[in-house]
Chains A and B, each alone.
Chain A
Amino acid sequence: MDFGRSADEQAFADEVRAFLRAHPPATFPADGTDAGYGSGAHSRAFLGALGERGWISLSWPREHGGQARPMAYRLVLLEELAAAGAPFGPLPGCLQVADSIIRHGSETLRREILPRVARGEATFWQGYSEPGAGSDLLALETRARLEGEQWILDGRKIWSSHAGVATYGTVLARTDPASGRQRGLTMLMVSNRLPGMEVRPIRSLTGEVYHYEVFMDSVRVPRDWVMGKPGEGFAQLLHGLDTDRFWGRYYKAPFLQRILALLVEYANTTPRDGGVPAGDASVRRRLAHAATEVAALRALFHRAAWLIERGMPATGPVSAAKLMADELGQRVLSLGMELLGPYGVLRAGSRWARLRGEIEHQYQTSWGHTLAGGTSEIQRTTIAVRALDLPAEPRVRG
């Protein structure tokens, strides 16, 4: 076995580090909040800089303008960006949607959207959840009907991250009114600029806007702005969910390593009780304990990556990694709060804030992570039914 980077992969990592040294992350303006997964704030400027270097399309096939580099390079890029705390918020979503377009998109979508993604100009929101369709996503009510060369889209999506600052959304809609549950669904690509779209912010408990509610009132979507075939939206969703969960969390291990490093520095340098917290055996062991868990999380993500790269079934390890990343994240940030004591709650920018108020912010965002992208309960059920071959709980017809 070999868990290391090849010489070429390491050379690429060095290239990314050199870029980050020459262009410190803090110099890029943010236009959307940091949701705490480790991908930093939403910054179009930063995305554009990545695009200029050809790093967004790194792994795309050459015929779509990519460099056809193996998935490992993408992993290196995300790890290095997360370790540096760079604001690459929308990048994982861009990679995910671009992969789908390359695999399942129409020629129009490839032509219209891929070049804009590669330049860092196009970003995406996901239109899955609805007010009445959360963990039971298939209860969704958004509908689209074909009228000539256009879909007429009506419905309402909610909890769509960054929808107000994004350019496009992928919307799961029922296109066959006679069908039920997983049949008759279609994944549509919509532009935020289309008439009939209304995007309203939802202020979250951090005090910032991350989620949006999207209202679609007779929105006319070109007929071939479809991912996969009409009626095959569920397959799109399922394939997407495994990889979403992977690409949406992969950089959480290096992120948590970065947070732990902050806490270690704090423990080493903060005067307390005539010494420093690092001299306290219980503080040492709790930080060391957290480090063992972060290391295990990283190893589990590497396993999931290896399976995905080979096209092998990865649902179990991916859902387990997502579950572990989000529950461990909460524990690490709680440990940070405990270490900071009364300073922990002070907001970033406040005169007495420690560690730039980062623990305060990430502590709050961590509460949402065990809900987003499928709750921890949904992950556990997914592992049990789809990876461990336990019988699904009977559905109650209502």
Chain B
Amino acid sequence: MDLALSPAQQLLQQSARTLLPRRCPPERVQALALDARGFDAELWKEIATLGWPGLLIAPQQGGSGGTVGDVVVLAEELGHACVPSPFIGSAVIATTALSAAGGRRAASLLPRLALGERICALAALEESGRLDPDAMGLRVEAPGRLTGRKLFVADAHAATDVIVLGGGAAGPTAVLLPMDRNGIEAHPLESMTGDKLFELSFRDVETRPDDVLGEPGAGFTLLAPAYRLGALARSAEMVGAAQRVLDLCLAHARVRRQGGRPIGGYQAVQHACADMFRDVESARWLVWESAWKLEAARPDAPAAVAAAKVYAADAALRVARRGHQVMGAIGYCEEHPLHLLHKRILAGSLDAGDATLHLDAVARSIGLS
């Protein structure tokens, strides 16, 4: 057992802790949440300079060939600073799918993703809101024409490319399309979480044989491991955001005085903070354990990630709710960062598979018939 960050991970953590609070303080997060475009291209460039978008890309394709643990380190710091960025969607989920797919199109896109020049979104969900590969309304044939829509597409405003999962004659099929191909339109969905979500409409969009990622019919096989890594990254992001809520509450409880002494001296507040600490720590180490299993490609890794996603969401949402209670009315103000963290946690809990989906995987893993 070795629960220390590697020297490389310590450096990664350090550079994130130097850059993010300075470049993306709460006022900036708030401004981005309120802004219709809501994408900080300058920050993304700085992030790209540090090589983060290429973390999971092989060195021969211009990336740094990082590890699952590296993703956990960064996602936790992005959550702690509550940075809105396409990191998890593009640099984790889409990148993993493209790397697994191989082929000419992926090979030409990956080096540019690594440089941060291009950003890749993922369009999979439809009206049901559930990722059901056997019930895709959108039909994908290549060569062919694509007509229909996808919902809850994150980062479509910043993306240059999009992976679209649809039903095909051979089964679920994924295609990689440039966002500027004729007939693709992004319509913003008004979301309370500050995430930029879109409805992506496709009107008679041309699909070519070389748009297909992997084999026709293998789209879901391709995306499932990518989603799994995305679920892990979202879990780490929730842990980071929950840690920040705890940090804010502790700082507040030490100085806010009522009844002649700091509120952190009252047991009611102390016990709330202790529960938050328990939730953050237990979630953090479960996430790390599942990251270790995923990296070691252990057979129990998929169920471990599913369990970590469910638990991290439960724990982080509990922390957010207790945080509002400790912080009091000041935490209800728009200018206070608490709601941004709460909303980031909420968004993470619903993305990359919600509790219902992951609990089904856990149920099977514990032997329920």
Residue positions of A touching B, CB distance < 8 A? 1-5, 72, 260-261, 264-265, 267-268, 276, 278-279, 284-285, 287-289, 291-293, 295-297, 299-300, 302-303, 305-306, 316-317, 319-321, 323-324, 377, 379-385, 387-394
* CA gap between A320 and B266 in the complex, in Å: 19
Known A-B contacts A316-B277, A393-B267; the reply to A3 vs B3 at CB < 8 A is: yes
Interface-centre pick from A2, A292, A382 (highest chain B CB count, 10 A): A292
A124 to chain B, nearest CB (A): 28
Interface SS majority for chain B: helix
In the A-B complex, the 6 residue pairs with the smallest Cβ-Cβ separation, listed nearest first, are: A384-B270, A299-B285, A380-B274, A390-B264, A383-B274, A320-B278
Q: A289-B359, A377-B267, A380-B270 are in contact. List 18 more A-B contacts (CB 8 A).
A: A1-B292, A2-B2, A268-B367, A278-B368, A284-B359, A285-B363, A291-B365, A295-B308, A296-B282, A296-B315, A300-B282, A302-B3, A302-B285, A381-B271, A381-B274, A390-B253, A390-B273, A394-B265
Taking a contact as CB atoms closer than 8 A, the residue among A260, A297, A380 that contacts B282 in the complex is A297
Q: Is the CB–CB distance between B265 and A393 below 8 Å?
A: yes
Instruction: Establish whether residues A299 and B288, one from each chain, have CB atoms under 8 Å apart when the complex forms.
Output: yes
Q: Tell yes or no: B36 within 8 A of A by CB.
A: no
Closest chain-A Cβ to B284's Cβ sits at a distance in Å of: 8
How far apart sit A323 and B282, CA to CA, in the bound complex (Å)? 12
How far is the CB of A373 from the nearest CB of chain B, in Å?
A: 16
Task: Give the CA-CA distance A287 to B281 in the complex, in Å.
Answer: 22
B residues within 8 Å of A by Cβ? Answer: 1-5, 69, 250, 253-254, 261-262, 264-267, 269-271, 273-275, 277-278, 281-283, 285-286, 288-289, 291-293, 296, 304, 307-308, 310-311, 314-315, 356, 359-360, 362-363, 365-369
User: How far apart are A382's CB and chain B's nearest CB, in angstroms?
Assistant: 8
What are some 10 contacts across the A-B interface (CB < 8 A)?
A3-B292, A268-B368, A278-B369, A292-B286, A292-B362, A295-B307, A296-B307, A320-B278, A383-B273, A384-B274
The answer to whether A383 touches B277, judged by C-beta atoms less than 8 angstroms apart, is yes
Q: Please state if A305 and B1 are interface contacts (CB–CB under 8 Å).
A: yes
Given that A261-B367, A268-B368 are known contacts, is A320 also in contact with B274, CB under 8 Å in the complex?
Answer: yes
| Interface of A (DSSP majority class) | helix
For residue A226, give the distance in angstroms from its CB to the closest CB of chain B: 34
CA distance A291 to B308 in the complex (A): 10
- Contact partner of A292 (CB less than 8 A), chosen from B4, B266, B310, is B310
**B307 proximity list for chain A (CB < 8 A):** 291-292, 295-296
A268 to B363 CA separation, bound complex (whole angstroms)? 12
Query: Chain A nearest CB: distance from B277 CB in Å?
Result: 6
Q: How far is the CA of A3 from the CA of B271 in the complex (A)?
A: 30
Cα of A392 to Cα of B314 in the assembled complex, Å? 29
Given A295-B304, A323-B274, A323-B278, do A300 and B368 touch, yes or no (CB 8 Å)? no
CA distance A289 to B289 in the complex (A): 17
Is the CB–CB distance between A385 and B369 below 8 Å? no
Q: Does A291 contact B362, Cβ atoms closer than 8 Å?
A: yes
Contacts of B271 in A (CB 8 A): 377, 380-381, 384
Given A303, A320, A394, which contacts B3 in the complex, CB threshold below 8 Å? Answer: A303
Q: Which partner residue on chain B sits nearest A392 by CB separation? A: B265
> B289 touches which one: A287, A299, A384 (CB < 8 A)?
A299
> Chain B residues with Cβ under 8 A from A316's Cβ?
277, 281
- Bound together, the chains give a CA A264 to CA B369 distance in angstroms of 9
Q: Write out the residue numbers on chain B whose beta carbons fall within 8 Å of the beta carbon of A287.
A: 363, 366, 368
Chain B contacts for A320, CB-based, 8 A: 274, 277-278, 281-282
B275 contacts which chain A residues (CB < 8 A)?
Answer: 380
Q: What is the minimal beta-carbon distance from A75 to any residue of chain B, in angstroms?
A: 8
CB-based contact A390/B250 at 8 Å: yes
Contact assessment for A285 and B289 in the assembled complex, using a CB-CB cutoff below 8 Å? no
Contact B69–A1 (Cβ < 8 Å): yes
Closest chain A residue to B362, Cβ basis: A288
Q: How far is the CB of A321 from the nearest CB of chain B, in Å?
A: 8
Taking a contact as CB atoms under 8 Å apart, the answer to whether A264 and B281 are in contact is no
Pairwise interchain contact A302-B366, C-beta atoms closer than 8 A:
no
Task: Give Cα distance in the complex from A4 to B1, angstroms.
Answer: 6
